[in-house]
């Protein structure tokens, strides 16, 4: 039946409407698509929509304050159009789909020049709103025809709205790509330099970030540009340690080193963290390194906080065609997400066989096809055995040999449509036990020209044709976008986890840093107050640390700090917390421990350290520590009060000659007990 005409009155907007329009324009400009080159994906989509609805013109219009910007257009030459004489303006204001069966008979739109033209004047219009996840209508997906159309059904409206959702997902994916690129540029210009080495001896540098120059200087860059080994940049006495650190990654170990690089403008202290990447067989394939100039620690922390805040602002992609596709984006279980898509796909296409495959490229560039879900093809005893055997494999199925009909789709990035698979040039037969294919349709899932996966369908009654391929095109575009979003999300989570680790651990000792320790101590204090649990806070200070630095240099001081950290780790339980809270000052939090038990544990640390000889270069060091312990008691007002008691006790230990421990008794802060006076 004919579609009723809808009009929007042209009246002066209210204050609320003006505010809503300002918010809408802000949402539009945040997409960063105005006055930009055409988008190939959107151009293909508009051609598809025009074909589906059999109209000569299809436009993706972004409605600005004064004009329409056509981000994609089919059958229309001008890249923009005045807003005041456009119908899309009314779709935006009404915020709903608008259909005009015959523009020449419409009292509002018939006066427009582009309608009154005798030749090629437009007579039909249908426009669906492009809506952001926040609900702002930023533009339209519209259809135009030079002839009236008296029939535009509710099903047509639904299809047009569905296509509009796909357009919006592509636009917001473009926005996310811009944000991710800015984040990477920010990281590249920040204080942390990234490197990748191979596993050869000596290790060759495969990659270095651009900001390595800022840390190691021009001479080092020339050295690397000449193909010289990275390790030769290190002092001679640190090169063996560097090589040993790289070799340790074959055992799955991460390493941390603090290295003094001799540069033309003086020495520079760099914290170097390296981590090995292992393949599926546990073999080392490369080593990743991160270099941090510790003189810029404060700037680094500020930059990392800024990056983390920006990452939190990166919004998830808008939910797409249905709940299954949303699960694909949000779920880490790719197999479950694919299965949610799979059965409806088989039903829609009438296929008896099918799979969704995801491409995987390993460290050496070899491409394989990971198949998280495949249809049950147990049509007879042989095919049932093949299917059951492959279902038992961990992580579903993976095809490493892509020299076949399936692989041709992802290696060439082109559709394979054949109703005689055995005669196709790429056919190499089917795996042993696999049922015969009577017909096959393979469609690559791509994003920005990169093949990320494929849809494979087979054995459709009557075979496959281009109509089936065109039917699946919106789903193909959406799945390509979602696969890309899943990769981006995994990378973001991995980066956040790495940054979170760097922000909470002291790089030298690998103990909790001051902030992490104080957060844990605050939580323990509250728990002790609530449940009346015994626990003890202790402050430990290496004796004569300045003299150690003066006599043995900063490298010797670092060796002393690491040796002391190791003694504390060996002398405490996993449930206890150790932190580095200052240069040579450490703190220990002993949970579920009485005062006497805490005394014994801390005294064990003191004695063990005094018996430890630390070798550094050609010299050795004997270390001692002063300890101030403060058992928790109900009279404490808070963590600061608790720390004050421990600090007073530590002062007493230092004043008492060092290499001893003093306990702040409760409830009086000022009373102390010397080691000899404490009960055994």
Question: Which uninterrupted H or E stretch holds 454?
Answer: strand 450-460
With 0-12 CB in 10 A as exposed, 13-18 as middle and 19+ as buried, what is 532? exposed
User: How far is it, in rounded angstroms, from Cα 439 to Cα 429?
Assistant: 13
pLDDT at residue 321, as a whole number: 53
Say whether the peptide bond before residue 202 is cis (omega within 30 degrees of 0).
yes
pLDDT at residue 233, as a whole number: 81
The SS3 of residue 654 is helix
Residue 450 has pLDDT above 80, yes or no: yes
pLDDT at residue 430, as a whole number: 67
CB-CB contact of 85 with 74 (8 Å): no
Give residue 168's pLDDT band: very low, low, confident or very high (50, 70, 90).
very high
pLDDT at residue 58, as a whole number: 96
Bridge-partner residues for 374, per DSSP? 355
Count Cβ atoms below 10 Å from residue 630 Cβ, excluding itself.
28
User: How far is it, in rounded angstroms, from Cα 37 to Cα 70?
Assistant: 10
For Cα atoms 109, 112, 118, give the angle at the middle one, nearest 5 degrees: 110
Determine which of 114-123, 440-449, 562-571 has the lowest per-residue pLDDT on average.
Answer: 114-123
Residue 301 has pLDDT above 50, yes or no: no
Stretch(es) of the chain classified as CATH 3.30.450.20 = 192-313
Stretch(es) of the chain classified as CATH 3.30.70.270 = 514-677
Residues 6+ positions from 72 with CB-CB distance below 8 Å: 38, 39, 42, 43, 45, 46, 59, 60
Residue, of 418 and 314, whose pLDDT is higher:
418
Look at the pTM and tell me if it is higher than 0.85: no
* Average of per-residue pLDDT across 115-136: 88
Give residue 480's pLDDT band: very low, low, confident or very high (50, 70, 90).
confident
323-497: CATH architecture:
2-Layer Sandwich (3.30)
User: How far is it, in rounded angstroms, from Cα 63 to Cα 79?
Assistant: 12
CB-CB contact of 651 with 663 (8 Å): no
Residue, of 640 and 473, whose pLDDT is higher:
640
* Average of per-residue pLDDT across 138-159: 92
User: How far is it, in rounded angstroms, from Cα 127 to Cα 142?
Assistant: 4
User: How far is it, in rounded angstroms, from Cα 602 to Cα 538?
Assistant: 8
Longest dimension (CA), the chain: 110
CB-CB contact of 191 with 206 (8 Å): no
CB-CB contact of 376 with 390 (8 Å): no
CATH class (in words) of the domain with range 15-154: alpha beta
Residue 379 has pLDDT above 50, yes or no: no
With 0-12 CB in 10 A as exposed, 13-18 as middle and 19+ as buried, what is 134? exposed
Query: What backbone torsions phi and psi does residue 538 show, to the nearest 5 degrees?
Result: -130, 140
Determine which of 191-195, 215-219, 413-417, 673-677 has the lowest per-residue pLDDT on average.
Answer: 673-677
Q: Looking at the annotation, which residues are catalytic? A: 584
**pLDDT tens, 196-254?**
888 777 777 888 877 887 778 888 888 888 888 888 888 888 888 888 877 787 777 78
Residue 388 has pLDDT above 70, yes or no: no
User: How far is it, in rounded angstroms, from Cα 538 to Cα 234?
Assistant: 38
Nearest one of 563, 446, 433, 443 to 511, comparing CA atoms: 563
Asked if CATH classification 3.40.50.300 holds for the domain at 514-677, the reply, yes or no, is: no
* Average of per-residue pLDDT across 261-279: 76
Determine which of 77-81, 195-199, 276-280, 375-379 has the lowest per-residue pLDDT on average.
Answer: 375-379
pLDDT at residue 333, as a whole number: 62
Residue 377 has pLDDT above 60, yes or no: no
pLDDT at residue 80, as a whole number: 85
Residues 6+ positions from 669 with CB-CB distance below 8 Å: 644, 645, 648
Nearest one of 349, 339, 354, 376 to 455, comparing CA atoms: 354
pLDDT at residue 6, as a whole number: 40
pLDDT at residue 627, as a whole number: 96
Residue, of 344 and 617, whose pLDDT is higher:
617
Domain 192-313: assigned CATH number? 3.30.450.20
Residue 618 has pLDDT above 80, yes or no: yes
Stretch(es) of the chain classified as CATH 3.30.450.40 = 15-154, 323-497
E-only strand ranges, 42-146: 57-63, 67-74, 80-82, 98-100, 124-131, 137-145
**pLDDT tens, 69-125?**
999 999 888 888 998 888 999 999 999 999 999 988 888 888 888 888 877 789 999
User: How far is it, in rounded angstroms, from Cα 223 to Cα 229?
Assistant: 8
Give residue 309's pLDDT band: very low, low, confident or very high (50, 70, 90).
very low
**pLDDT tens, 575-592?**
899 999 988 899 999 999
* Average of per-residue pLDDT across 645-657: 93
Residue 315 has pLDDT above 50, yes or no: no
The SS3 of residue 601 is helix
Q: How far, rounded to the nearest angstrom, does the alpha carbon of residue 73 sit from its chain's CA centroid? A: 33
Determine which of 250-264, 327-341, 467-481, 517-531 has the lowest per-residue pLDDT on average.
Answer: 327-341
Residue 45 has pLDDT above 50, yes or no: yes
The SS3 of residue 275 is strand
Give residue 187's pLDDT band: very low, low, confident or very high (50, 70, 90).
low
Counting every residue written for the chain, the total comes to 680
pLDDT at residue 342, as a whole number: 72
pLDDT at residue 502, as a whole number: 66
pLDDT at residue 672, as a whole number: 40
The overall average pLDDT reported for the chain is 81
pLDDT at residue 4, as a whole number: 36
pLDDT at residue 51, as a whole number: 94
pLDDT at residue 641, as a whole number: 94
* Average of per-residue pLDDT across 504-518: 89
């Amino acid at each position: 039946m004919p579609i009723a005409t809808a009009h929007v009155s042209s009246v002066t907007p209210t204050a609320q409407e003006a505010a809503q329009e300002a918010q809408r324009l802000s949402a539009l400009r945040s997409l960063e698509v105005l006055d930009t080159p055409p988008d190939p994906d959107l151009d293909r989509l508009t051609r598809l929509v025009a074909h589906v609805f059999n109209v000569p013109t299809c436009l993706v219009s972004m409605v600005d304050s004064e004009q329409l910007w056509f981000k994609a257009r089919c059958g229309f030459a001008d890249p923009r159009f005045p807003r005041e004489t456009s119908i899309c303006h009314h779709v935006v204001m009404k915020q709903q789909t608008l259909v005009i069966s015959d523009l020449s008979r419409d009292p509002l739109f018939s006066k427009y020049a582009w309608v009154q033209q005798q030749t090629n004047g437009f007579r039909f219009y249908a426009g669906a709103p492009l809506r952001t996840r926040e609900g702002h209508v930023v533009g339209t997906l519209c259809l135009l025809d030079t002839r009236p159309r008296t029939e535009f059904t509710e099903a047509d409206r639904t299809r047009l709205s569905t296509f509009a959702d796909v357009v919006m997902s592509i636009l917001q994916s473009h926005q996310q790509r811009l944000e991710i690129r800015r984040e990477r540029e920010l990281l590249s210009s920040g204080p942390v330099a990234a490197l990748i080495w191979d596993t050869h001896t000596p290790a060759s540098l495969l990659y270095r970030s651009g900001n390595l120059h800022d840390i190691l200087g021009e001479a080092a860059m020339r050295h690397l540009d000449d193909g010289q080994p990275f390790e030769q940049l290190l002092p001679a006495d640190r090169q063996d340690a560097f090589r040993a650190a790289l070799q340790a990654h074959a055992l799955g170990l991460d390493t941390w080193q603090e290295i003094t690089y001799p540069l033309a403008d003086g020495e520079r202290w760099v914290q170097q963290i390296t981590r090995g990447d292992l393949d599926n067989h546990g073999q080392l394939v490369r080593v990743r390194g991160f270099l941090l100039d510790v003189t810029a620690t404060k700037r680094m922390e500020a930059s990392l906080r800024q990056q983390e805040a920006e990452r939190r602002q990166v919004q998830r992609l808008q939910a797409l065609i249905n709940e299954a596709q949303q699960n694909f984006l949000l779920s880490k279980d790719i197999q479950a997400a694919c299965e949610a898509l799979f059965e409806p796909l088989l039903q829609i296409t009438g296929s008896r066989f099918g799979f969704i495959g995801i491409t995987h490229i390993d460290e050496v560039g070899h491409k394989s096809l990971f198949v998280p879900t495949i249809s049950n093809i147990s049509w007879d005893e042989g095919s049932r055995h093949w299917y059951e055997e492959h279902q038992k494999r961990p992580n579903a199925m993976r095809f490493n040999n892509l020299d076949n009909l399936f692989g041709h789709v992802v290696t060439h990035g082109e559709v394979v449509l054949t109703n005689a698979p055995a005669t196709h040039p790429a056919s190499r037969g089917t795996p042993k036990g696999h049922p015969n294919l009577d017909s096959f349709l393979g469609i690559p899932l791509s994003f920005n020209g990169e093949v990320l996966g494929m849809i494979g369908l087979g054995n459709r009654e009557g075979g496959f044709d281009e109509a089936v391929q065109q039917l699946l095109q919106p789903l193909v575009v959406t799945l390509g976008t979602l696969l890309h979003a899943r990769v981006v999300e995994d990378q973001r989570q991995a980066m956040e986890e790495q940054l979170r680790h760097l922000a909470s651990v002291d790089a030298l000792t690998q103990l909790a840093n001051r902030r992490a320790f104080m957060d844990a101590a605050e939580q323990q204090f509250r728990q002790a107050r609530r449940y009346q649990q015994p626990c003890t806070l202790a402050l430990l200070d290496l004796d004569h640390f300045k003299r150690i630095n003066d006599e043995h240099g900063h490298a010797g001081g670092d060796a002393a700090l690491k040796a002391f950290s190791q003694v504390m780790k060996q002398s405490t339980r996993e449930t206890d917390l150790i932190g580095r809270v200052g240069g040579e000052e450490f703190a220990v939090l002993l949970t579920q421990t009485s005062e006497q038990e805490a005394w014994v544990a801390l005294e064990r640390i003191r004695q063990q350290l005094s018996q430890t000889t630390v070798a550094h270069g050609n010299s050795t060091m004997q270390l001692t520590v002063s300890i101030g312990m403060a058992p928790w008691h109900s009279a404490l007002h808070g963590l600061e009060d608790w720390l004050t008691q421990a600090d007073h006790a530590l002062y007493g230990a230092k004043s008492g000659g060092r290499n001893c421990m003093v306990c702040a008794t409760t409830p009086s802060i000022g009373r102390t007990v010397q080691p000899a006076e404490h009960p055994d």
